[in-house]
Amino acid sequence: MVTIVFLSILLGAGPNDGSQASSLQSLEAAPVADESPTAWSCTVDTLRSGRECVFEAELTAGEPDRDQATNNVRLVQGMGRALCAEAARAQSGEGKPDKALAALCEKKYAAATGRCELEGAVSVVDAKGRFAPAARACYRALSGALQETQLMASVASPCCQCAAQRGCAGAGDQCYSSLVRQEAGASTLACMRDRCAEACSLVPPASSAGKAPASLPKSEPRPGRGSASL
């Protein structure tokens, strides 16, 4: 019985089905390169996540062009609102973005886009969505704005929202950076702990005010193979 099944498997394709010839043709065919972005490419996804990346885009710089410069800025500006909304999403059960922090992020992001003109000599991203090597400073500026917002969302957002609702002095846009940098005044911290104890559980005690500020995140990726890294 086993022999019959084994023979059936061997004979199932038939001697003249052309599979062998097809295999030989495949081996002799010219190799086809996969030019899709690799996991290391600097793209919107790596900008969103803060992952290390490599500038893989191969773009040839041309003469400065004002229209291209405008298009470069317009392109990265178009990403800003969605990226900032995601970055301003507090690590809480609701997972809703902090609207005030998202607006603050958009201001910082918009300021960073000024470094993305590249004099119009090259597109800021290629057709596959990979950032150009010439856009390194642009990418780092955008990434810095987003990473700072993410840190503020995780450390300061719940507290600052509560402080604004409860009327604590020092609430508003400056609240986020002052808490992250540990620069909030003693009276502000006292109000937060009194009126927003649960939301401000990560806030340092008032006695910590005035100490060396905490460092904001920096992106220092390792060099990539074949292209300059971020």
Question: For 78-115, what is each residue's pLDDT tens digit?
Answer: 999 999 999 998 655 456 788 999 999 999 999 999 99
Report how far residue 180's alpha carbon sits from residue 151's, in angstroms, rounded to the nearest whole number.
Answer: 8
Cα(175)–Cα(167) distance, integer angstroms: 12
Separation between Cα atoms, residue 51 and residue 61, nearest integer Å:
27
Residue 89, pLDDT score: 86
User: What distance in Å separates the CA atoms of residue 10 and residue 158, rounded to the nearest whole number?
Assistant: 68
- Of 5-9, 67-71, 179-183, 195-199, the poorest mean pLDDT is in 5-9
Q: Per-residue confidence at 10, pLDDT binned at 50, 70, 90?
A: very low
Confidence check: pLDDT of 226 > 90: no
Q: What local confidence, expressed as pLDDT, does residue 30 receive?
A: 55
59, 227 Cβ separation under 8 angstroms? no
pLDDT value of position 21? 55
pLDDT at 101: 93
Burial of 175 (0-12, 13-18, 19+ CB in 10 A): buried
User: What average pLDDT is seen over the chain?
Assistant: 78
pLDDT tens digits, one per residue of 27-83:
555 554 445 557 789 999 999 999 999 998 888 888 999 999 999 999 999 999 999
Alpha helices, H only, 54-212 = 66-87, 99-112, 136-155, 157-166, 173-180, 186-195
Per DSSP, 34 falls in state -
Number of residues assigned to the chain: 230
The pLDDT value given to residue 59: 85
Q: What is d(CA 162, CA 177) in angstroms, rounded to the nearest whole number? A: 16
pLDDT at 31: 54
Whether 227 has a pLDDT exceeding 60, the answer reads no
Can you name the residues that pair with 229 across neighbouring β-strands? Answer: 54
pLDDT of residue 154: 87
More confident residue, 21 or 32: 21
Res 112: pLDDT: 96
Number of Cα atoms under 13 Å in the Cβ half of residue 165: 10
pLDDT for the residue numbered 148: 93
Q: What percent of the chain has pLDDT over 70?
A: 69
How far, in Å, CA of 128 to CA of 106, rounded?
Answer: 25
User: CA separation (Å) from 30 to 139, 203, 230?
Assistant: 37, 62, 34
pLDDT of residue 25: 56
Name which of 67, 71, 203 is nearest 135 in CA terms.
71
The CB density around residue 53, as the number of other CB atoms within 10 Å, is 27
pLDDT at residue number 224 = 45
Task: Report the pLDDT averaged over residues 177-185.
Answer: 88
Q: What is the pLDDT of residue 131?
A: 95
